[in-house]
Amino acid sequence: MRSSLFIVLVLGLAGCFDPPVAADYKETRYIFGTLVEFVIHGTDEKTAKQAIADVDRDFQRMHKDWHAWKPGGELVAINAALAQGKPHHVSSFVMPLLKQGRDFEQKSGGLFNPAIGGVIEAWGFHSDELPVGMLPNLADIKARAAQHPSMNDLQLTDDMISSRNRSVQFDFGGFAKGVALDMAVAKLKSLGIRHAIVNAGGDLNTLGTAGERLWKVGIRDPRDWGVIASVDLNGGENLYTSGNYERFREQDGIRYAHIIDPRTGMPVDHTVSASVIHENGALADAAATALIVAGPDAWAEVAKAMGIHYAMLIDKQGTVYISPEMLARITFETDKKLTLVQSRPLSDVAMTLSQTRH
Residues that bind Mg ion (CB under 5 A): 174, 242, 285, 288-289
Find the binding residues for ligand AMP in span 172-231 (CB under 6 A). Answer: 173-174
Taking CB atoms, the residue at the shortest distance from Mg ion is: 289
Cβ(51)–Cβ(64) below 8 Å? no
Residue whose C-alpha is closest to residue 7's, from 202, 177, 241 = 202
Q: Is position 169 an interface residue for ligand AMP (rule: CB under 6 A)?
A: no
Comparing CB distances to ligand AMP, the nearer of 179 and 293 is 293
Residue whose C-alpha is closest to residue 293's, from 255, 240, 338, 257 = 257
Residue 260, contacted partner among Mg ion, ligand AMP, none, CB below 5-8 A by kind = ligand AMP
Residue 329 makes CB contacts below 8 A (sequence gap 6+) with 231, 232, 277, 310, 353, 354
Among 163, 205, 209, 242, binds ligand AMP (CB under 6 A): 242
Comparing CB distances to Mg ion, the nearer of 209 and 273 is 273
- Select from 28-36, 59-67, 132-140, 257-265 the region that touches ligand AMP (CB under 6 A): 257-265
Residue 114, contacted partner among ligand AMP, Mg ion, none, CB below 5-8 A by kind = ligand AMP
Comparing CB distances to ligand AMP, the nearer of 258 and 316 is 258
Within 10 Å of residue 225's Cβ, how many Cβ atoms? 16
- Select from 6-14, 26-34, 212-220, 288-296 the region that touches ligand AMP (CB under 6 A): 288-296
Residue 91 makes CB contacts below 8 A (sequence gap 6+) with 65, 74, 159
62 by DSSP, 3-state: which?
A: helix
Q: Which DSSP state fits 210?
A: B
Q: For 251, list phi and psi in degrees, rounded to 5.
A: -150, 125
Q: Helices (DSSP H) in the chain: which residue ranges?
A: 6-17, 45-65, 74-83, 95-107, 117-123, 138-146, 176-190, 281-305, 324-329
Cα 184 to Cα 175: distance, rounded to the nearest angstrom? 14
Among 238, 289, 323, 343, binds ligand AMP (CB under 6 A): 289
Residue 259, contacted partner among Mg ion, ligand AMP, none, CB below 5-8 A by kind = ligand AMP
Give DSSP secondary structure letters for 156-178: E-SSEEEES-TT-B---TTTHHH
Comparing CB distances to ligand AMP, the nearer of 48 and 122 is 122
Q: Which DSSP state fits 152?
A: G
88 by DSSP, 3-state: which?
A: strand
Using CB under 6 A as the criterion, what x/- string covers residues 117-146 for binding ligand AMP? ---x----x---------------------
Find the binding residues for ligand AMP in span 55-114 (CB under 6 A). Answer: 112-114
Residue 262, contacted partner among ligand AMP, Mg ion, none, CB below 5-8 A by kind = ligand AMP
Comparing CB distances to ligand AMP, the nearer of 205 and 242 is 242
Q: Is position 262 an interface residue for ligand AMP (rule: CB under 6 A)?
A: yes
Per DSSP, what are the bridge partners of residue 312? Answer: 275, 322
CB 297, min distance to Mg ion, A: 20
Provide the binding-site residues for ligand AMP, judged by CB under 6 A: 112-114, 120, 125, 171, 173-174, 242, 247, 258-260, 262, 285, 288-289, 293
